[in-house]
A and B are shown apart, each in its own frame.
Chain A
Amino acid sequence: MLLQTKNLEICYGKIPAVRNLTIGLEKGQIIALIGSNGAGKSTTLKGLAGVLTPSKGQVYYEEKEITKLPSNQRVPLGIALVPEGRQLFSTLTVKENLRLGAYHFGELEFNKRLEEIYELFPIIKERENQIAGTLSGGEQQMLAFGRAIISNPRLLLLDEPSLGLAPLIIKEVYRMIEKIKNTGITIILVEQNIEIAFEITNYIYVLEAGELSIQGSPSEIIKNNEIKKAYFG
Chain B
Amino acid sequence: MFFGTSYILQQLFNGIVLGSIYALLALGMAIIYGILGLINFAHGALITMGAFCFYFIFSDLEWPFWITLLLAISFGGLIGYLLELIGYRKLRGSSGLSLLITSLGIYIFVENLAKLIVSPQPYAFNVPNFLNQIINFYITFRVIDLFIIAASIFIMSIFAIFIKKNKVGIAMRGISENVETAKLVGINVDQVIVWTFVVASSIAALTGFMWGAKYGQIGYDMGFMPGVIAFVAVVIGGIGSIPGSLVGGFLIGLIQTFVVSFLPTGWSIYRDAIVFTLLIIVLLIKPSGVLGRRESI
Contact = CB atoms under 8 A, between A and B. Distances in A.
B177 A101 contact: no
A51 B185 CA distance: 10
A104 B170 contact: no
B40 interface: no
A174 interface: no
A87 B187 contact: no
Given A89-B173, A100-B170, A100-B174, A83 B186 contact: no
Contacts of A151: 185-186
A28 B180 CA distance: 29
B181 interface: yes
Interface string B147-175: 00000000000000000000100110110
B140 interface: no
A92 interface: yes
B181 A83 contact: yes
B64 to A, nearest CB: 35
B116 interface: no
B182 A100 contact: yes
Contacts of A75: 185-186
B296 interface: yes
Given A51-B184, A75-B186, A89 B167 contact: no
A75 B188 CA distance: 11
Contacts of A110: 167
Given A100-B167, A100-B170, A103-B171, A91 B186 contact: no
A70 B188 CA distance: 10
Interface string A101-116: 1011001001000000
Interface string B32-68: 0000000000000000000000000000000000000
Bin the interface of chain B by size: 10 to 19
Contact of B186 (A71, A89, A90, A107): A71
Given A87-B178, A89-B174, A92-B170, A100 B296 contact: no
Nearest to B181: A87
A48 B188 CA distance: 18
A90 B177 contact: yes
Interface of A: 49, 51, 70-72, 74-76, 80-81, 83, 87-92, 96, 99-101, 103-104, 107, 110, 147-148, 151
Report, nearest first, the 7 A-B pairs whose CB atoms are least far apart: A75-B186, A87-B181, A89-B174, A103-B187, A72-B186, A96-B170, A100-B174
17 contacts: A71-B184, A72-B183, A72-B187, A75-B186, A83-B184, A89-B174, A91-B177, A92-B170, A92-B177, A96-B173, A96-B174, A101-B185, A103-B167, A103-B171, A103-B185, A103-B188, A148-B185
Given A83-B184, A87-B181, A91-B296, 8 more contacts: A70-B183, A72-B187, A88-B181, A90-B177, A92-B174, A96-B174, A103-B187, A103-B188
